[in-house]
Structure 1
């Protein structure tokens, strides 16, 4: 007596679809967790004109903001003289590449292009008409917020938090 069950032609494809769905959901879950670790300030805490940022796992202050009314990720970089924007973001942020000039970075000298930021918003803080550079050597989407922007702000670091006031 043969005790094999008849198999449905949909059984194997449905099993594969279920596994792919599970893998997709796991990817989305862990991708969000990794983004939270890199940028714990996706919705920064604002108290009036103060902004309180949390340090990420690597000790950096990363925050979500807006550049020319477009959402961006900013990393505060007190070692950068000028705000540095990855060149591949220029078009989507409405930025024009101006005159080229050399800059010294941790990775050596690179040629960047002058540009102008109309508005930069972080929480309740807004800065206007900032010089910046478009850097073809930056391959991620994180904008390095340099001292030309940070000098307009008061920064107070205590423990793993940074309070910013205009």
Structure 2
């Protein structure tokens, strides 16, 4: 390669890096918009759209920690991964044994302040904290307080009057 080829090669490399950056940023923007469109608030009704993983997700907070709850109508109790409970500063109240879809599980009980997008709140909610759990599960202890209907790909939730 001669010295005269260097500027042309440098320009090509720079151009390809810029194209790659634009594609990457465009994908990230599309991904963020897709995630945001899974939750909508329309006239006091919360609308959750089924995610690509086949589940409904509801953004919220445990204490001051942002979380993305998996809506689990088969769970009696809201359950949190231990790492999340520790980040939220939850204190163990005692050990517990429970049955999950994956089989028996050991963990501890705690109380958590949960705030879900759309204004749904549960203060000092008894929760199960499970070390092997990968995602926070929003159970019927919260969902049972709400009126919800489901149609293909959509879960509509209305707080009880």
Do the two structures share a fold, i.e. TM-score over 0.5? Answer: yes
TM-score (norm 1): 0.75
Equivalent position to 1:145, from 121, 138, 149: 138
TM-score (norm 2): 0.77
Question: Aligned residue for 1:70?
Answer: 65
Equivalent position to 1:45, from 12, 22, 41: 41
Equivalent position to 2:76, from 81, 103, 110: 81
Kept in 2: contact 1:66–1:120 (CA 8 A):
yes
* Aligned-partner Cα distance in 2 for 1:71–1:83: 16
Question: Aligned residue for 1:118?
Answer: 113
Runs of 4+ in 1 over 6 A off after TM superposition: none
Judging changes above 3 Å, is the alpha-carbon distance between structure 1 residues 52 and 102 closer, same or farther for their aligned structure 2 residues?
same
Judging changes above 3 Å, is the alpha-carbon distance between structure 1 residues 22 and 99 closer, same or farther for their aligned structure 2 residues?
farther
Question: Aligned residue for 2:93?
Answer: 98
Q: CA deviation at 1:45?
A: 2.0
Q: Count residues in correspondence.
A: 158
Q: Which blocks of at least 5 consecutive residues in structure 2 are unaligned?
A: none
Q: Which blocks of at least 5 consecutive residues in structure 1 are unaligned?
A: none
SS at match of 1:91: helix
Kept in 2: contact 1:67–1:119 (CA 8 A):
yes
Kept in 1: contact 2:81–2:133 (CA 8 A):
yes
Pairwise CA RMSD of aligned residues? 3.0
Question: Aligned residue for 2:148?
Answer: 155
More helix per residue: 1 or 2?
2
